[in-house]
Chain A
């Protein structure tokens, strides 16, 4: 658990972070959003003490970070940043192995871990382990950055726009990977972005920041339904809030289940239970369907989604 109590950070006259209170529960993904310069990165850097707080208290699992040994604090916090910060003179494998090496893991364990992480992030260890960062695409480099942050299995992840500066498709893929990983690993995560859709997709709770203050801290659904101020309302997009809410809920919530799953006919088309209602609506509009079949992971048809049901209950 991470707690920020009345934390302020000044740079000379500018107040970058202004008396904020924030609690991130264990296993939760807290996403900090807000426009450029509102103090997101500064908040993150205070948690691992890359920057000291000007005043206030930061506790990690109940312990004040200022009293903690700096290396011990940081080795237990994965840190991924927008510029990736990969070491250009080290291979991918060695970059990922950074923290395990600092922790003096035996070599076999490190090698196994690097292979495991590369596989987890869908990069072939045989072809990527010995490459250098300059030889990677932007998306690959960011994956390696995330792998490096995860390497020693830290309890806490701090991620500062780890998927920034990527094209929409790569970005979405990495977000889905991140969701999948988070379901398995349940890390206490503080994630910084200025992309509201990324925030809505990944967050357990979102903290909206404006000029150094936290103006709302709530679940994605509540942020959409009950924005605390005009600022938040504008940030989430006044007009397409309906679609954004639909994007938060899976098809599973509204489908009419069959009594028993049926094996799908070959070539059958439809939705997956995990697809969002927004996607379902889009499919129905595009193909002009009144209902769509829904499949589970094994490919069995488990139910149908009706158009009326979607329109009535989707938001």
Chain B
């Protein structure tokens, strides 16, 4: 079984052809690195898989069934969670409120559904512990460091029983120690049987944790290789175009 299959996926924003003929697969529990220069189309691809946009061409299959996501909720229902490049969290809310945004826990009092603050704080605390992140559930995101924000965005993906987690540059703009934490976390997700599509500009990230690397250049897939049979030099060449394909 393959988890995710893309076949000839393309996307245009008006006159801009951001993606064309992208085909690759992600297996269950596999960590795939997605690399490419600025504007190569990585975020666009993530947003298509996550149901934020529809592709203009091509088909997408999840667990061997063709899927048409009309909204992020559809992708989430199928078992796909995302950490967006700009994290998509609300600064003016607490960590716990962000984690549960759109799927709050409730309890019934006098016939009405009220937010269950205690349960959400408790679950958030557990998630942060699991992620070994030093983040308080009640803290406002506005007061948090980049690594803590990242932890909030990642903790969100752990609420449901996800099968595939898309991470758009989770290690950009955080400290070296925090990068190590995020990478360790990705390995732990894999151990739990969760597949990860990791977008990164950092070669060491990809070579540390990924099983395979997929390279996009100007919207086209130019490589899809096992990490074991590639090298940072080769991938750099593929990204810049010094190497045509591999």
Q: Are A and B bound to each other?
A: no
Residues of chain B whose beta carbon lies under 8 Å from any beta carbon of chain A: none
Residues of chain A whose beta carbon lies under 8 Å from any beta carbon of chain B: none
